[in-house]
Structure 1
Amino acid sequence: MFRDLSRPIETGMPTYPGDPDVTLAPDATHETDSYGTSELRLGTHAGTHVDAPQHKLPDGETIDERGVGRFAFDARLVDLRPLEPREPIPPEALPDVDDFGADVDLLVIRTGWESHWGDDRYHDHPYLTAAAAERCRAAGVGIGLDTFGPDPTPSAAADTDDTGPTTATDDEPAGTPAHDVLLGDSLPIVENLCGLDGLPSRFRLYAFPLRLRDADGSPVRAVAEWRE
C-alpha cells in the first residue's frame, strides 16, 4: 500500500510566518505558445518538507550533501491525540528510549493539527519540549509531524477566544530548542505531513528532497508504504 502524506503545492498555500509566499502560475500556454510551462516560486520550507542541519547550523550539512538513502525511513507512528492548542509534549508522551525499536529511524508524531491546515489555528499546534527532543536524540531517531514544526510557531493573532487563534504563553521556550537538539545531531525533521489517519503503527516513509545546491531544506513528496 502507498499513501501520499504531502501537501499539494499551490498558490496561496499556508507558509510559516515570514517565509516566502507560494505562487504557481502559467508561464507559457497551449493557447498562445502551443505548449505549457509554469513558474513556481516558493521557499525551501514550503509545504511538506525536510530540514537540513544547515537550517539551524551555519556550518551544518546541506540538503544536497546528504545521501539519497537517508531520506527513506523506517517510521513509527505515535498518535498523541487529543492535544490542546500550544500544548507542550513532554518526553513521557513518547516511547522510552529502549522501546523505540532498533530499526526505527523516524518517529511520526500525530497531533491532529493537520485538520487546521488553511486556518489561523494551524499556528497554534502542540510542540515538542527540549527534553522530548533529547529523548529522540538519545535514541538516534528523527521526527515527522503534522505541524509547522517541532517548536512553537508565532500566533496568527493576538487575541484568544474559544474558536480562534491562541496567544502564545509566557512559559513557551524562546528560540527553537527542539530544532537545535535534533539538527545539531544531524537527525531528520519532516514537517507539515498530512493523511496520517488510518496509517499502521509501522511503515516506510519516503521523503526525497529536490537536489538543491547548498540548501537548508527542501519540499518533498512524502509517501508512506506498508503491507496489509
Structure 2
Amino acid sequence: MFRDLSRPTETGMPTYPGDPDVTLAPDATREADGYATSELRTGTHAGTHVDAPRHTLPEGEAIDDQPVGRFAFDARLVDLRPLQPRAAIPPEVLPEPSDLDPGVDLLVLRTGWASHWGSDRYRDHPYLTAAAVERCRAAGVGVGLDTFGPDPTPAASGAADARSSERNEPDGTPAHDALLGDSLPIVENLRALDGLPSRFRLYAFPLRLRGADGSPVRAVAEWAD
C-alpha cells in the first residue's frame, strides 16, 4: 500500500512566517506557444519538506551533500493526540530507545495539527522539549511532523507572541540544532497520518539543489497490505 503524505504545492499555500510566498503559474501555453510550461517560485522549506543541517547550522551539510538513501526511512508512528495549542511535548510520550525495533530511524509524530493547515491556528502547534529531543538523539532517530517543525512557531498576533514568554517557550531553533547537529532527519508539514500502521517505510526524496538548506519532497508511505 502507498499513501501520499505531501501537501500540494500551489499558489498561496501556507508558509512559515517570513518565508517566501509560493506561486505556480503558466509560462508558455499550448494555445500561444504550442507547448505548456509553468514557473514555480518557492522557498526551500515550503510545504512538505526535509531540512538539511545547513538550515540552522552554518557549517552543516547541504541537502545535496547527503546520500540519497538517507531519505528512505524505517518509520514508527507515534500518536500524541490530544494535545493543547503550543503544548510542550515531554520525553515520556515518546518510545524509550530500548523499545524501538531495530532499524527504526524516524519517529512520525501525529499531533493532529494537520487539520489546521491554512489557518492561523496551524502556527500554534505543539513542539518538542529539550528532553524529548535528547530521547530522540539517544535513540538515533529523527522526526517527521504534521506541523511547521519541532520548535515553536511565532504566533499570529502580537498579543499571543507576548504570552509566549509566560509559557517559557524556547527561543530560536534548539530542537532543529540538536537533531541536525547529529545529522538526524527532520521532515515537516506531513499530512494524512490517520489510519497509518505503526510501522511503515517513508520516502521523502529531496530535489538535488546545490548547496541548499532543505528541499520540498514528495513524501510517500509504503506498507504491506
TM-score range, shorter chain: over 0.9
The runs of at least 4 consecutive aligned structure 1 residues that moved more than 3 Å come to none
SS in 2 for 1:76: strand
**Alignment partner, residue 46 of structure 2:** 46
1:167 to partner: Cα distance? 5.1
TM-score w.r.t. the length of structure 2 is 0.97
Distance 2:156 2:192 in 1: 24
**Alignment partner, residue 185 of structure 2:** 188
Range moving further from structure 2, 26-35 or 77-86: 26-35
Distance 1:224 1:175 in 2: 31
- Is 1:117 matched with 2:114? no
Q: What pairs with 1:91-170 in structure 2 (closer than 5 Å)?
A: 91-159=91-159, 168-170=164-166
1:174 to partner: Cα distance? 1.1
Distance 1:148 1:95 in 2: 22
**Alignment partner, residue 220 of structure 1:** 217
Gaps (5+ residues) in structure 1? none
Deviation string, structure 1 residues 135-180 (Cα, Å, up to 9, x no partner)? 10111000000000000000012356xxxx9953431011111111
Give the CA RMSD over aligned residues. Answer: 1.3
Q: What pairs with 1:168-207 in structure 2 (closer than 5 Å)?
A: 168-170=164-166, 171-207=168-204
Judge conservation of contact 1:85–1:166 (CA < 8 Å) in 2: no
1:100 to partner: Cα distance? 2.0
Q: Which amino acid aligns with 2:221?
A: A
Distance 1:213 1:196 in 2: 31
Distance 2:4 2:163 in 1: 32
Task: Pick the structure with more helix per residue.
Answer: 2
Distance 1:167 1:227 in 2: 46
TM-score w.r.t. the length of structure 1 is 0.96
**Alignment partner, residue 63 of structure 2:** 63
**Alignment partner, residue 36 of structure 2:** 36
**Alignment partner, residue 211 of structure 1:** 208
